[in-house]
């Protein structure tokens, strides 16, 4: 069964749990068809079943953001499904430096090269490659929207300000990957000026998920709101910005 052309389609990477799953749920409640990218078929099917129990129709595909073959499969899927993609939420990410806010096993001078490379691969190189692959389909949508899940920890302005709330929260690999992703947002937004496609970075907040850890103060319902807002921006909405709950954040 093919999706009606008047139904918006969203692809949420890492959408089978945590923030990704909640983003899919909230988009689904708005009448958008969420397609979940999950590393295993069963994880995707389980997520679809959870959403169905909540009254949301969703689909899933096997997708590992770091695998070129999976990116190519995603392009083929959306081309066959509707000939376009309305929303891309680059949500998949990793944090490989202990538990946020609790442990900090590495400093900038002791960070293992493998931790840095693995973090950059998933949090930066993979979403850039996926966005490039899917951009032709996003351009075919009446109002394409790209949401890059960044973090306030990617803000160089705040990290260099001793009075900022994140000044002591240094995670060299993760922070660097999110700073790089923010830079890509700026570059791509400049390229897409005047088009129907908007791209923005989202700081969801410090959210209580498997990756965010037990110390995180925000729930997933609130954490997903920024992504959903940016995924559904009106024509007059911003592009090339960095936001949390509607508020602009400093780069």
Q: Does some domain include residue 80?
A: yes
Q: What is the pLDDT of residue 220?
A: 75
Q: What is the pLDDT of residue 206?
A: 66
Q: What is the pLDDT of residue 213?
A: 46
Q: Does some domain include residue 25?
A: yes
pLDDT digits (tens, 9 = 90+) for 63-95: 999 999 999 999 999 999 999 999 999 999 999
Please give the order of strands across the beta sheet that includes 87-90.
59-62, 33-38, 9-13, 87-90, 145-149, 198-202, 242-244, 247-248
Q: Does some domain include residue 4?
A: no
Q: Does some domain include residue 154?
A: yes
Q: Does some domain include residue 1?
A: no
pTM for the predicted model, two decimal places:
0.93
Number of domains forming the structure of the chain: 1
Residue-range definition of the domain harbouring residue 17: 9-248
Mean model confidence pLDDT for the chain:
92
């Amino acid at each position: 069964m093919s999706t009606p052309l008047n139904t918006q389609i969203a692809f949420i990477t890492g959408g089978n749990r945590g923030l990704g799953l909640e983003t899919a749920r909230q988009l689904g409640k708005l009448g958008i068809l969420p397609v979940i990218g999950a590393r295993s078929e069963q994880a995707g099917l389980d997520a679809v079943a959870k959403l169905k129990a909540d009254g949301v129709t969703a689909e899933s595909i096997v997708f590992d953001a770091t695998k070129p073959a999976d990116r190519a499969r995603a392009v083929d899927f959306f081309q066959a499904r509707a000939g376009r993609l309305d929303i891309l939420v680059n949500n998949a990410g990793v944090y490989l430096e202990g538990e946020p806010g609790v442990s900090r096993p590495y400093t900038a001078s002791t960070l293992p090269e493998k931790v840095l490379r693995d973090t950059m691969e998933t949090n930066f190189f993979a979403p850039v490659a996926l966005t490039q692959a899917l951009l032709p389909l996003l351009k075919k949508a009446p109002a394409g929207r790209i949401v890059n899940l960044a973090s306030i920890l990617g803000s160089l302005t705040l990290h260099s300000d001793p009075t900022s709330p994140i000044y002591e929260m240094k995670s060299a690999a993760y922070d660097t990957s999110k700073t790089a992703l923010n830079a890509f947002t700026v570059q791509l937004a400049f390229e897409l000026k005047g088009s129907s496609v908007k791209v923005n970075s989202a700081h969801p907040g410090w959210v209580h998920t498997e990756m965010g850890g037990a110390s995180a103060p925000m729930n997933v319902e609130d954490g997903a709101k920024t992504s959903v807002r940016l995924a559904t921006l009106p024509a007059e909405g911003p592009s090339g910005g960095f936001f949390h709950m509607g508020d602009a954040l400093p780069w």
